[in-house]
Structure 1
Amino acid sequence: MWLFFITVLGYAFAAFHNNSAAQVNETNVSAMSSDWQLVWQDEFNDKHIDLTKWSFEYNCYGGGNNEHQCYTDRAENAFVNNGHLHIVARLESFSGPALKDDHLLYQRSDVSVSKPFTSARMRTVYKGDWSYGRFEVRAKFPKGQGTWGAVWMLPTDWHYGEWSGSGEIDIVEAINLGTASDRVGALKGELETRIHGTLHYGQPWPNNVYSGQSFQLPNGQSPAAGFHLYALEWQPDEIRWYVDNIHYATQTSKTWFTKIIIKEQHVLAKQDAPFNKRFHLLLNLAVGGDWAENANDKGVDLEAFPQTLLVDYVRVYQKQN
């Protein structure tokens, strides 16, 4: 039943998380190349969130994934303090729009859906949009069953059609940190510490596909115990994932693809589509959903909340010609 829901909703994250984790060795530790030039940043040093850089989503849509939060623009759910962005998921009933913000029929005044949690989802759409670059986020993730923190990217123009024909880039996600690990081969008593980097592509749902890699930090470190630097380098034909300068995953245009309709026929788009158009950044903390609730200890632990995704900074670099 859960696999049915995951497939139908087009957010089948659980399948790619094959419960294996990349292992660290000396060959995949690297430093950032000197030819990346800083083009955009938010250090979160002001008293308030910079609305020239970020917009808030405001809805109870559930992320298309049966999540349990309403996203708000309230200070209770997102604020800056001591140089850090706080995105806080809270256990509290809230009512809001049933449709996502970009839907043609969306109305902010709609209160047709109620959810038991609130949180925030921030994005740079039309304020920070890039084709290729290095994207860095220094962050500390929440912990507890049902938590789902994410730093990711969506297409700004949806050139190749609806999700996920136009692609999705997940820089880093973490679910259920600190709960019993369901990793294949996990030792008795092992706690969840994995992060995940993923691409979504192919065709619009329900013909979407995805590929990705999970990774465990060295020496049993947990992403919920302290700050770590998560980075993604996106260049034509290749995307690479890093944590604390450890290069743990690479995907290339030899394996990703997207199909478009030409004269009523599905044909492969040219070059490195869909990852050859501009994308924007998103930061959010979801509660539950088909992936988080179907992993580790299952469900949502109400006593674990409130939980916070802490972000120290976001920086974007690009190659200079």
Structure 2
Amino acid sequence: MSNYVSSKLSSQQLRFANENEDTEDSGALPEKRTHSRAPSKGNAAESPPLTPRTKFTFGSPGQPPIPPSASSLNTTFTPSHTPTGSLAVPHTNVHPFPEAVGGSTTHHRSGTLSSPPSQGELLQRTPRKSTSTGTGSRPNTAGEYGMSASRPASARFRETFALPRTRPLTMYSSVQNSSVKIQRERPRSTMLTDEKRDELQEVKKPWTEGKDPYMRISYFLTYGMIIFGILAGGVRCFFEWRKVPMMKGNLCPVMEEHFTSEEGVFGENGKFFREVDMSGFGNGEFEMTTTSPKNSYVRDGYLYITPTLTSDDIGEAAIEDGHVFNITDCTFNITQGLSYTAKDSTLLPLNISAVGIDREFDVKGYTKACSAVSNATSGAVINPVQSARLSTRRSASIRFGKVEVRAKIPTGDWLWPAIWMLPVDNVYGGWPMSGEIDIMEARGNGPKYATQGSNYVRGSLNWGPNGALNAAYKTYGWWSMRRGSYDEAFHTYSLEWDEDFIRIYVDSRLHHLLDIRVKKSFWELGEFPPMISQGSESAVLHNIWVNGSKAAPFDQNFYLILDVGVGGTNGWFPDAKEKPWYDGSQTAMGAFWRARHEWLPTWPTEVEKRSLVVDYVKMWQKC
């Protein structure tokens, strides 16, 4: 080895080259060596020992290996031409297919021919270029010395990112490759003998042995009864449909109002009359009805009846003490109290027209209906709420026909919206002897109210020989909304009234609140006692409708009323824990006002939600 080459090789490379020279001289194969990745202790920058391989051809057996030709030994690489600073080896493609030569070769496990390098070949290799830090990179023995690695590069790359071997789940389970599907033989039952196992494998089908005639009969009976039930149900529906009474004859329109202008509603010839009163209308109601445009008005094609607080006009202190309130445009001289639903209405004269004419001035009735005085000592208060009561008593009434009102009820505790009818003439006497038809009554309390809140609407008939014997409990009904409330949208409330039936429903005849078939007189339906007591006196009770038809007292002309009441002492709001007053109390109105912090927050500030909003009113009479 020349001195020049010796100076370019490291100590380990020189030692390795000398060992190979000895091997070549002896004609034996080099020993299998391993090298460590750790750097030498003497020089940390030195590369690990090299194990270069190149291609040699061998002669016949027993001959020494033939080194590369002289021309290949003269091929050198200068350090400047060495790629990436690694040792470059000239490739001598001598007999790429050694089998053609016929000599013996040594094969690497990857399939590449391998033979020990010669000293001349090692001398032709250029030392590595040092890095900027002075340490050389490790040579690629597989690529730079013209040999394949022990494994292909793709296989080694896949092993780098391969999943780890699966761990055993228990101490008894063995580790299996994740890609290998475990197949185990199903254990054989030791509880069954071979004979029993063979019997179980035989599927018995007794129904194929013979057909039972009773099975066919049972099928015929089952399907026959199903068909019969369907047909019977259809027949019953048909006859029930035929039994539903309908209006006979023609219906002639009496009134149709869509509230396009306020003049047509409240004007001189308007269709609705505003009743002004603060007596409670016989029910002990806590509102006063006014002509104020704040309480009843027309807007955007709708009629509004809106309750407001009296304290907005006179202040809260004046409600309870030291104030005299005189209501404007009181109508008591016109109505004469005939629209009151009082229990003592039997004292009212018979056959008095509800249209009303000016009569002798009644000071006591006028004072109660048109004025009030607040006194903290006595507990008397001025009606704390103002509302409106509109009627068609002067414009339209019907005797047998149909009424249809599309409206949305208000929201708020203790509000009492109503669409109802009273007789024009008290032919049979005062209330309830001449009757009352309630098309719709509701409560403004929410659906959680214990006694039917705003998700219920109710229809009823009031009738009887006097107020104490009102038989409304026999002719009333309701319809409820299971998912929602009637104050959320508009609904159509209808009355169909004939001498043979009275039907009240909401939106559809299927949703009927009340359906009365007049098959016998109301006197017989009421089953009233033959004797009544009035204080210390007793009197025989006579049939007051004896001169009327079987539909009496509902065989006369009735007019329509729209109103929103507040509270009352007649029992419409039953006494309960959440109710702030008692019906029998003399100061019930004052108790209601003092509890305003409880009920006033339930009244919406939007007038559309706090009002009875009416879309249209239609009335037809049988003709």
TM range (shorter): 0.7 to 0.9
Between the two structures, name the one with larger relative contact order (CA 8 Å, sep ≥ 6): 1
1:57 partnered with 2:275:
yes
Q: Distance in 1 between matches of 2:575 and 2:521?
A: 27
> Which residue, out of 85, 96, 102, partners 2:336?
102
Q: Distance in 2 between matches of 1:84 and 1:76?
A: 14
> Which residue, out of 541, 557, 560, partners 1:278?
557
Q: Is the 8 A contact 1:121 1:284 kept in 2?
A: yes
Q: Distance in 1 between matches of 2:416 and 2:451?
A: 17
Match of 2:45 in 1: none
Match of 1:77 in 2: 295
> Which residue, out of 534, 543, 549, partners 1:267?
543
Q: Distance in 2 between matches of 1:319 and 1:293?
A: 36
Please list, as runs of the form range in 1=range in 2, the aligned pairs for 1:193-232 lying within 5 A after superposition.
193-210=455-472, 211-217=475-481, 219-232=482-495
> Which residue, out of 579, 583, 595, partners 1:298?
579
Q: Distance in 2 between matches of 1:65 and 1:183?
A: 18
Letter in 1 for 2:619: V
Please report the TM-score for the alignment, with normalisation by the length of structure 1. Answer: 0.78
Q: Which structure has the larger Rg over C-alpha atoms?
A: 2
Q: Distance in 1 between matches of 2:288 and 2:415?
A: 14
Match of 1:4 in 2: none
For residue 222 of structure 1, report the CA deviation from its aligned partner: 1.3
Q: Secondary structure at the match of 1:39?
A: strand
Q: Distance in 1 between matches of 2:478 and 2:437?
A: 14
> Which residue, out of 566, 575, 588, partners 1:287?
566
CA RMSD of superposed structures (Å): 3.2
Q: Distance in 2 between matches of 1:192 and 1:265?
A: 39
Please list, as runs of the form range in 1=range in 2, the aligned pairs for 1:114-153 lying within 5 A after superposition.
114-153=382-421
1:160 partnered with 2:428:
yes
> Which residue, out of 242, 251, 267, partners 2:516?
251
For residue 163 of structure 1, report the CA deviation from its aligned partner: 0.4
Q: Is the 8 A contact 1:147 1:292 kept in 2?
A: no
Q: Distance in 1 between matches of 2:459 and 2:521?
A: 15
String of CA shifts for 1:207-234, please: whole Å, max 9, x gaps: 32212001113x5231100100000001
Q: Distance in 2 between matches of 1:157 and 1:192?
A: 33
1:111 partnered with 2:392:
no
Aligned in 2, Cα 1:224/1:279: closer, same or farther, shift over 3 Å? Answer: same
Q: Distance in 1 between matches of 2:260 and 2:412?
A: 28
Letter in 1 for 2:517: T
Q: Is the 8 A contact 1:146 1:288 kept in 2?
A: yes
Aligned in 2, Cα 1:86/1:236: closer, same or farther, shift over 3 Å? Answer: same
For residue 55 of structure 1, report the CA deviation from its aligned partner: 0.9
Q: Distance in 2 between matches of 1:304 and 1:91?
A: 14
For residue 265 of structure 1, report the CA deviation from its aligned partner: 5.6
Aligned in 2, Cα 1:176/1:294: closer, same or farther, shift over 3 Å? Answer: farther
Q: Distance in 1 between matches of 2:331 and 2:299?
A: 31
For residue 304 of structure 1, report the CA deviation from its aligned partner: 2.9
Match of 1:22 in 2: none
Aligned in 2, Cα 1:267/1:246: closer, same or farther, shift over 3 Å? Answer: closer
Aligned in 2, Cα 1:206/1:292: closer, same or farther, shift over 3 Å? Answer: closer
Aligned in 2, Cα 1:91/1:50: closer, same or farther, shift over 3 Å? Answer: closer
Q: Distance in 2 between matches of 1:287 and 1:273?
A: 31
Q: Distance in 2 between matches of 1:148 and 1:156?
A: 23
For residue 96 of structure 1, report the CA deviation from its aligned partner: 4.3
Q: Distance in 2 between matches of 1:68 and 1:265?
A: 34
Aligned in 2, Cα 1:88/1:242: closer, same or farther, shift over 3 Å? Answer: same
Match of 1:42 in 2: 257
For residue 180 of structure 1, report the CA deviation from its aligned partner: 1.7
Letter in 2 for 1:278: N
1:318 partnered with 2:318:
no
Letter in 2 for 1:161: G
Say which is worse superposed, 205-214 or 142-151, in terms of deviation: 205-214
Q: Is the 8 A contact 1:149 1:286 kept in 2?
A: yes
Letter in 1 for 2:612: L
Aligned in 2, Cα 1:275/1:117: closer, same or farther, shift over 3 Å? Answer: same
Q: Is the 8 A contact 1:157 1:278 kept in 2?
A: yes
Percent identical = 31
Q: Secondary structure at the match of 2:310?
A: strand
For residue 287 of structure 1, report the CA deviation from its aligned partner: 0.5
1:240 partnered with 2:495:
no
Q: Is the 8 A contact 1:70 1:96 kept in 2?
A: no
**Higher strand share goes to which structure?**
1
The unaligned stretches of length 5 or more in structure 2 are: 1-236, 315-324, 338-358, 374-381, 529-539, 581-591, 593-598
Letter in 2 for 1:256: F
String of CA shifts for 1:278-316, please: whole Å, max 9, x gaps: 010000000011345426842461223362100001001
Letter in 2 for 1:62: G
For residue 201 of structure 1, report the CA deviation from its aligned partner: 0.4
